[in-house]
Every structure is written in C-alpha cells, then in structure tokens.
Amino acid sequence: MNEGQIELIVQKVMEQLQKRFTPDHNIARENVKEIIEKGLVFREQDWKTSIPQPAFKEGVAELTASTPARIGVWRTGTRPLTKTMLKLQFDHAAAIDAVSSEVLEKYLEEFNLFTVETCYENKEVYLKRPDKGRVLTDDAVDTISSRCQKRPQVQIVVSDGLSASAVETNLKDVYPALIDSLKINNLSFGTSFFVKGGRVACMDHIGDILEPEVLVLLIGERPGLVSASSMSAYMCYRPRKGIIESDRNVISNIHPLGTPPIEAGAHIGTVLRRMIEQKVSGVKLEL
C-alpha cells in the first residue's frame, strides 16, 4: 500500500466518521464498521494474554501489578501464546529501528541545529568502534570553528548516539525547557548544533575546539524494550581531551515514561549553574 492509498483510506474514514453525526446514524455506522474491519486495530490491551483458569483468580492482577516483567502470560504446550510473542517482537523491532535509523532533518530545523559528523563512517563501524564516534571529522572541526561562538558560557550539543528516536521524541520538549532554564539561571549559551554518529566522549573534542565553560550533550541511549526513545544529558565543566568518566554528570532515562523531558530540561540549567559556581563537575560537584 503506498502513501496515496493510505491517505485515501484515512480521508474516507474521516468522511464516514463525520457522517456518524448526521441524522442517518445507522447507515453511517455500518459504513464505518465495514472500513475498520478491513484492517486490524491494535492497542496495548489487545496484546494481553491471560491464564484461562488460575488457581487464585484475584491473585493474577496482584502479581502482574507488582512488576513490569511479562508474567501471567500463559502458554500453548511449552511455547508462549501468539500475542505475547508478537508483543515481544514488536518492542524489539522498535528498539532496533531506533538504533539503525537517522534523525529526520525537520526535528533539527525546528531549533536551527546544523549537522556535523564524527569519524563514525557508517552504522556498522559506529557500533564496532566506539573510539571513532568520539572524534569529529576535519570538516566538522572547520564547520563548528567558523559557525559557532567561541568560549561560550554554555555549549549545547545534540547527538543521535544509539537512538535516533530518542532525539525525535524528546528534543521538542527538552530543548525549549533547557533554554528557559538557562535564562532563569542567568546563563548565556553559544551556537547549538547536532552531531551525527556521536559517542559521549565527543564532548571532549568539542570542548578542545570551542572551549566552553560548561557543555551539555543531549544524546540517545542504548534502547531497551520498555523505551526505545530514552535520552541522556551528559554535562561537564571545561570539557577537554583526557577528561575521565567520573568528571561528568548525567541525567539519564529521559523519556515520557521515565524522567519527563520538560523536567529534565529545567533541571539541567541548575546543574550547569552549580558547575560554573563550583568550577568543577562529576563526583566532586555538590548538587
């Protein structure tokens, strides 16, 4: 089915739905039903499978409510039921797509972010060689040297990391909240940009070039099955080559079902202000 056909169907469904509110109710309902029956509508509850005759009926809900683990799913022979299996595959599909896909330009244009690349070459090399994702290409070095303000108080960098969908899902909320929180904390910021194929330590290379007082990197995390769109904010005071992991601070698990993106954005400003006040980051920073 191509996009045109899908649009047509959507249009047709919409027309039919509108007709529901016309006086001729019954005919309209029939039409809607007919169209919906041509496709399957899957919602979260449609994946649920259950134990047909549990020994303690009321106990099932108590157990399943106590954990996000996939329990009480039942079986056929020794194998899982079809819907339980399809749900697991569906969640895994979202996670692998998040790793393999690229951030669409429109999400970056919204905040005027231009794009530079690390030496990652392609997705395969990116996964095999974490070291390459820590260094910007020569072109990237030239671009940010010429386009970015040097020695800003705060440098904001966004990167896809291991999840493009983390950027697409969260940036629209995190970024404006972060800008607001910088203003509230009386901090100024330089020229933000996007790094394709970045690893956390690309902060150090960028730090060497632009010499910001503090840098915050918003980067996609390794996707899990609960969320394939989780983002982390790594922060560092005077980032430069040779920084060790424990010199960085991080707010992780940023996604709509984890740390809410707007809250995370607001919190980052406070952490950055403290770094500037205490002239330190990482484990030594007092929050």
Partner 1 sequence: MKTKITLLNKTYQFSNLKEILAKANEEKSGDQLAGIAAKDAQERLAARHLLADLTLNDIRNNPVLAPEEDEVSRVIENSINEKNYQSIANWTVSDLRETLLSDTTTDIEITRLRKGLTSEMVAAVTKIMSNLDLIQAASKIEVITQCNFPIGYKGTLSGRAQPNHPTDSIQGIKASLYEALSYGIGDAVIGINPVIDNAESVKQILQMTKEEMDRFIIPTQNCVLAHVTTQMRAIKNGAPSDLLFQSLAGTESGNKAFGISVELLDEANDLIQKEGTSAGPNLWYFETGQGSELSSDAHHGIDQVTLEARCYGLAKKYHPFIVNTVVGFIGPEYLYNSKQVIRAGLEDHFMGKLQGLPMGVDVCYTNHMKADQNDMENLAILLGSAGVNFLIGVPMADDCMLNYQSTSFHDIASVRSVLGLRPAPYFEKWLEKMGIMENGKLTERAGDPTIFM
Query: Of 1, 38, 41, 68, which lies in the binding site for partner 1, with binding defined by CB under 8 A?
Result: 68
Residue 242 binds to partner 1 (criterion: CB under 8 A): no
Among 99, 166, 268, 272, binds partner 1 (CB under 8 A): 99
Residue 87's closest CA among 50, 44, 51?
Answer: 44
Using the contact rule CB under 8 A, the part of the chain among 39-47, 83-91, 103-111, 200-208 near partner 1 is: 83-91
Stretch that binds partner 1, among 6-14, 68-76, 104-112, 169-177 (CB under 8 A): 68-76
In sign, the C-alpha dihedral spanning 191, 244, 260, 115 is positive
Closer by beta carbon to partner 1, 10 or else 96: 96
Shortest distance in whole angstroms from residue 95 CB to partner 1: 4
36 binds partner 1 (CB under 8 A): no
State the Cα–Cα distance between residues 85 and 73, nearest whole angstrom.
10
Q: Examine residue 96 and tell whether it contacts partner 1 (CB under 8 A).
A: yes
- Residue 128 CB, shortest distance to partner 1, in Å, is 5
Task: CB nearer to partner 1: give 39 or 130.
Answer: 130
Q: Please state, in angstroms and rounded to a whole number, the distance separating the CA atoms of residues 42 and 50.
A: 17
User: Does 6 interact with partner 1 (rule: CB under 8 A)?
Assistant: no
Return the range that interacts with partner 1 (CB under 8 A); candidates 67-75, 180-188, 242-250, 260-268.
67-75
User: By CB under 8 A, is residue 162 in contact with partner 1?
Assistant: yes
Which residue's CB is nearer to partner 1, number 16 or number 159?
Answer: 159
Bridge partners, 116 (sequence order)? 195
Q: How far is 21 from 113, CA to CA, in rounded Å?
A: 45
- Total residues contacting partner 1 by CB under 8 A comes to 46
For residues 198-217, which are near partner 1 according to CB under 8 A? Answer: none
Separation of alpha carbons 195 and 274, rounded Å? 26
Binding mask 39-58 for partner 1 (x = CB under 8 A): ------------x-xxxxx-
Q: Helix, strand, or coil here: 194?
A: strand
Report how far residue 209's alpha carbon sits from residue 151's, in angstroms, rounded to the nearest whole number. Answer: 9
Decide if 113 contacts 193 (C-beta within 8 A): yes
DSSP annotation string for 209-256: HH--SEEEEEEEPPP-SS-S--EEEEEEES--TT--GGG-EEEEEEST
Q: In angstroms, what is the minimal distance from the CB of 171 to partner 1?
A: 20
Looking at beta carbons only, is 91 or 208 nearer to partner 1? 91
60 counts as binding partner 1 under rule CB under 8 A: yes
Measure the CA–CA gap between 209 and 46, rounded to whole angstroms. 52
22 sits near partner 1 (criterion: CB under 8 A) = no
Contact call for residues 156 and 233 (beta carbons, < 8 A) = no
CA distance 240 to 203: 7
* Dihedral of alpha carbons 184, 190, 196, 199, sign: negative
Whole-number minimum distance, CB 275 to partner 1, in Å? 27
Write out the residues near partner 1 by the rule CB under 8 A: 51, 53-57, 59-60, 62-64, 66-75, 77-80, 84, 88-89, 91-92, 95-96, 98-99, 127-131, 162, 222-226, 228
